[in-house]
Amino acid sequence: MQVRVFESEDMDSALRMIKEALGPDALILSSRTVRKGGMGLFGKPLLEVTAAIDPNSDAATDEIPSTVRTSVKATARSSARGVADDDLSYEDVWRTSTERPEFSDPRPNPYARAASMRTPGSGRSVDSLHSEMGELKELGVRSVDSLRSEVGALKDLVSSLVKDLPGQIEKATHTKLQPIAVPVVNRFATMSAVDQQIHDGLTRLGIEAEAASTIAHYASSQLTARQIADSAVLNAFFAKTIAELVQTTGTILPEPGQTKRIALIGPTGVGKTTTIAKLAAAYLLAGGKRVALVTIDTYRIAAVEQLKVYGEIMNLPVEVVMSADQLREVLARHSNKDLILIDTAGRSPKDSVSLQELQDFLDVDPDIEAHLVLSATTRERALYETYNRFNALSPSSLLMTKLDECDSLGVLLNIHLRNNCPLSYLANGQKVPEDLMLATAELVSSMILENSEG
């Protein structure tokens, strides 16, 4: 790991110095304001930024789309010697990216650094730890064996009481009891053959079993056997029923005369940065004008550069924020903007410290709306756990991305029913802004059904 300290008047120039010295994949470790000169508190304030790069790692470089790397290199050359006629322009980058967009949300690994750290000064030897673990294991085994013995004895006692119960009842009532067959309990035991057929069809759409069972019962109670046998009638019924179960917010962008501050939150790799660009472009195409982009994702230089490329293409100011106080200053400086879009760093849903840091940023202004971005390709159990963690930040809506990479879209209904959080936008590709759709109940319903047919 190569570590260097850079001094500059502001963050923009510091980023340029770091990029020129260490490359776009450098990591920012810390930043602080220092004063230079012999004037003490009256010395000239400078920004001191500590950055690092691992020369043996190329995984981070692979994550940056080639179009972004090219544009960054072109920007560096332009700033050093002026823009030449044969340099790559941002217009060329825009055309290239829309023909074959490859932007991806940078995914820093919060575990890589922790895994490499060791706690110095520990006086306990490995042998001592192994010994203590062995003792704990033996204690656990003895406890489990003891518990099993007690459960076995209790089971025998219950069995003897139950076995004796008919005789006791017959003796008390002078009545001969007949044997009773006890049915096996099954939560779908009450399903008819028709219900089961409908239920199986809905689960193939990716809809959870319990929701599919409820819809199947409802369908059989509302439709005749002839209607159920007609696939067109049944699909129309499903489309209407699913649409009635879905709640959406409508657009989250400001209407004329409104101002909004919107922060996209979510785990790594779900496409927050690309979605920020899509929302900004959609607002501009709809006639909006005063827009600013802000990023508090300063874990990697590439993340900042990606948003800056989008900002220069759309001629929008891009602010880089390192602390909650700086965010407050940026919001005040751009108070005349109708829309401020805030890109946040990907947070692991299991990292409560990082989530609290993100909460500190959001608390700067009560008008900041947090909207949760999730990927439809995530395993549903992990998806639910992620939502439960980020729910502490009170997201106003869900933006579901990567629908084009998902085989079945029943997840759109499942995540909504489980958490009762409305959907706002659906992203089914990387094109900016074409691959961003305003979520409606009818659109969600049709996508769930049509995806299964394809």
**Segments forming the whole domain that contains residue 197:** 193-245
Of the two residues 121 and 169, the one the predictor is more confident about is: 169
Residue 355 lies in a domain: yes
Cβ distance 240 to 276 under 8 Å? no
Query: Both 232 and 331 in a single domain?
Result: no
* Structural domain contains residue 399: yes
Structure tokens at 41: 């508190």
Same domain, 296 and 439: yes
Does the residue 255 lie in any domain? no
Per-residue model confidence (pLDDT) at position 399:
96
**Averaged pLDDT, 302-310:** 82
Q: Measured in whole angstroms, how far is the alpha carbon of residue 427 from the centre of its chain?
A: 13
Q: 346 vs 204, which has greater pLDDT? A: 204
SS3 50: strand
Final residue belonging to a domain, choices 202, 220, 245: 245
| pLDDT of 78 higher than 70 | no
**Residue 154 confidence (pLDDT):** 66
Whether residues 208 and 311 share a domain: the answer is no
Overall pTM > 0.75: no
pLDDT tens-digit series, residues 311-326: 999 999 999 998 999 9
Assign 22 to helix, strand or coil.
helix
Query: Helix or strand or coil: residue 362?
Result: helix
pLDDT higher than threshold 60 for residue 69 = no
- Asked if the model's pLDDT at residue 81 lies above 50, the reply is no
Examine the domain organization and report whether 71 and 57 are in the same domain: no
DSSP summary character for residue 102: -
- 40 part of a folded domain: yes
**Bridge partner list, 235:** none
Q: Based on the fold, state whether residues 444 and 327 are members of the same structural domain.
A: yes
| Phi, then psi, of 131 in degrees rounded to 5 | -65, -45
| 382 and 448 both lie in a single domain | yes
**265 and 326 housed in the same domain:** yes
Angstrom distance (rounded) from CA 430 to CA 404:
10
For residues 151-170, one letter each, b for 16 or more C-beta atoms within 10 angstroms of the residue's C-beta and e for the rest, the string is eeeeeeeeeeeeeeeeeeee
Q: Mean per-residue pLDDT for 58-80?
A: 40
Residues 348 and 432 in one domain: yes
The verdict on residue 146 lying in a domain is no
Q: Is the pLDDT of residue 283 over 90?
A: yes
The single residue listed with the structure tokens 């202004």 is 365
Confidence check: pLDDT of 184 > 80: no
Count structural domains, the chain.
Answer: 4
Query: Are 409 and 313 found together in one domain?
Result: yes
Q: Give tens-digit pLDDT for 202-241.
A: 888 889 888 888 888 888 889 888 888 888 998 999 999 9
Q: How confident is the model at residue 158 (pLDDT cuts 50, 70, 90)?
A: low
Q: Does residue 162 lie within any of the structural domains?
A: no
Instruction: Check whether residue 97 and residue 27 sit in a common domain.
Output: no
Do residue 208 and residue 291 come from a single domain? no
Quote the tokens at residue 29.
Answer: 């470790």
Would you tell me how many other CB atoms lie within 10 Å of the CB of residue 368? 17
| Within a domain: 164 | no
Contacts of 111 (CB under 8 A, 6+ apart): 348
DSSP string, 235-265: HHHHHHHHHHH--B----SPPTT--EEEEEE
Whether residues 199 and 274 share a domain: the answer is no
CATH number at residue 401: 3.40.50.300
CA neighbor of 290 nearest in space, from 242, 323, 319, 258: 258
**Residue 270 in domain:** yes
